Chains A and B, each alone.
Chain A
Amino acid sequence: MKPILDVKGLTRIHGKSCDGCLAATGPKVGGNQCPHCGSIVACADVSFQLMEGEILGIIGESGSGKSTVIRLLYMLDQALAGGALLHGGEESAIDLMALNRAQARQLRDRHMGIVHQNPRLGLNYQISAGGNIAERLLMSGNRRYHDIRRIASELLVRTEVPVSRMDDFPGTFSGGMQQRVQIAKALSTRPRLLLLDEVTTGLDLSVQARILDLILELQRELGISMIVVTHDLGVIRLLASRTLVMKTGRIVESGLTDQVLQDPQHAYTQQLVASAL
């Protein structure tokens, strides 16, 4: 298996930061706020690989830095340090952390997709569901109205949103359906990398199950590489072949999901698994 993404030393600190930030925070200390300067170490020295076609899980309690990693990889925020090489098919690898705004936008529009926990972050409620999908297609350079209509309706069929609702506004949809529209939008440009941040959190269990099924099907059919962020062990168990465990902005444990769950090494993971039983 070839890696699609090589992440090395990703670090993001909120606040002015000082020389002592990294040593004075982390799992051993048990906090992410630097006692010297008050800065928040949202994530530090995060390194991992994502393989082609793989679903990688990131689990950790609220505030452990999961969304920070996702936002850095989607280039919504700037890293203080670190790199993330995206390996392309024919092209040479691109460091996501070294792109300017315009380059980031282009790459994101063509090769990446994101689904947020809160659909308000991922969807524009002023335009129709189809318009949300259209926006992404238009960004990636497809300007043919009839093409866009066809692709959008196919995607809605695929994500099990009634096509009859295509021209309605997302605000009139149920929570589960809004997530499906987000997924359809993310898939519209056939991304190689899909980032999913707590996409089922807050939904009814039956709705959750169907969306998780959809994600698995998409991975099998389209071979998209995915990073799935969650604080729910059940989601990780179902979706992810490998898992990273995060605490106070650091990766404390990583490995095959089955091993991590059956034989957790780090005390924090043990606690996490025990509390879920």
Chain B
Amino acid sequence: MNTAKRKIPFGFIDDQAKREIRRSILKAIAIPGYQTPYSSREMPMARGFGTGGLQLTLSLVGRQDVVKVIDQGSDDSVNAVNIRQFVQDVCEGVQTTLRTQEASLIQTRHRIPEVPLREDQVLVFQVPYPDSLVIVESNEATRKCMHGEGDYSRLLVKLYEDMVHFKKITLSHRYPTQIHTHYVIDPSPIPRYDVPRLHQAPNLFLFGAGREKKIYAVPPYTEARPLVLDDIPFEVEDFTHPETGDRYCCEVCGSDRSFLEEFKQADGGSVWQCSDTDFCASMLEAAEAAEGVI
């Protein structure tokens, strides 16, 4: 047995495997929203910790890339920090950043960055459940047929039943979204607020599910529509005060247009903060710079 320490290849995954994953990515882009199977590799972290997204990132990353990793909008969470560190360790020469605008490749869990992305940027999602139909059909073979035929009536029935029993649509995260008028994807647990931002975006969105071994894509400038009943409008999260009707502002930066997270206070009240930490920091910097000028 060879006792010499095996050299870890650039990007951790060997070239052969990368090529295979890239082929699946190309197929996924060519068939928008289609869940393309690929052979998921063992990664030095447990499945469920973004191994699907990480394999996409590592297959795509080149030495000129600048990588950003976010977890629910935050660059600082343990998960984001670990993945960023891992990318740094196995991709010699690759820069990482916290700044959305500086990044060429962004791996994310559960959010789309607040700042609109550009054509030269790629957003990679970590996906826990790739199939939008699991909530209505447990058999995978049947689901495949339903996707093939574009038969999403049972998801629509779910919306009907929601209206009947709850007077509103209860689906919040993982909102079923129809891509290019055919396949309905699970856009991963992003909030509803982010769903319309998939529509006709200049950048490529890639989705990787490690456990389920699936890759799918929303290519640039592609139609992405939340599945709705025609006369029940799609609604995003509501950040307005129920009495005053004013929109809540971020406690830190003062933004009144970003996606906010609610923090319950001991006194029973709530404090709201941007979920996108980079956006929040940028807003704060801009505000401070403006003050400095005065």
Binding site for B on A (CB under 8 A): 101-102, 105, 127-128, 130-131, 134-135, 138-139, 143-148, 167
Contact = CB atoms under 8 A, between A and B. Distances in A.
B154 to A, nearest CB: 7
Nearest to B148: A102
B230 interface: yes
B151 A145 contact: no
Interface in B141-169: 145, 148-151, 153-154, 156-157, 160-161, 163-165
Nearest to A139: B153
Interface string B267-279: 0000000000000
A167 B167 CA distance: 12
B243 interface: no
The 7 A-B residue pairs whose C-beta atoms are closest, nearest first, are: A139-B153, A138-B153, A102-B149, A145-B229, A138-B156, A143-B230, A134-B160
Contacts of B148: 101-102
Contact of B164 (A101, A135, A167): A167
Interface string B227-251: 0111110000000000000000000
Main secondary structure of the interface of A (DSSP, over half): helix
B157 A127 contact: yes
Contacts of A101: 145, 148-149
A135 B153 contact: yes
A144 B230 CA distance: 5
Given A138-B160, A143-B230, 8 more contacts: A101-B145, A101-B149, A127-B161, A130-B160, A131-B161, A134-B160, A143-B228, A146-B231
Nearest to A166: B164
A130 B165 CA distance: 11
A219 B223 CA distance: 45
Main secondary structure of the interface of B (DSSP, over half): helix
Contacts of B164: 128, 130-131, 167
Nearest to B160: A134
B7 to A, nearest CB: 50
B231 A135 contact: no
A113 to B, nearest CB: 16
Interface residues of B, number: 19
Nearest to B154: A135
Contacts of B149: 101-102, 105
Nearest to B157: A135
B71 to A, nearest CB: 35
Nearest to B152: A138
Contacts of B157: 127, 131, 134-135, 138
B145 A131 contact: no
A49 B150 CA distance: 33
Contacts of A167: 164-165
26 contacts: A102-B148, A102-B149, A102-B150, A105-B151, A127-B157, A127-B161, A128-B161, A128-B164, A128-B165, A131-B161, A135-B157, A138-B160, A139-B151, A139-B153, A143-B156, A143-B230, A144-B229, A144-B230, A144-B231, A145-B163, A145-B229, A145-B230, A146-B231, A147-B231, A148-B160, A167-B165
A139 B149 CA distance: 11
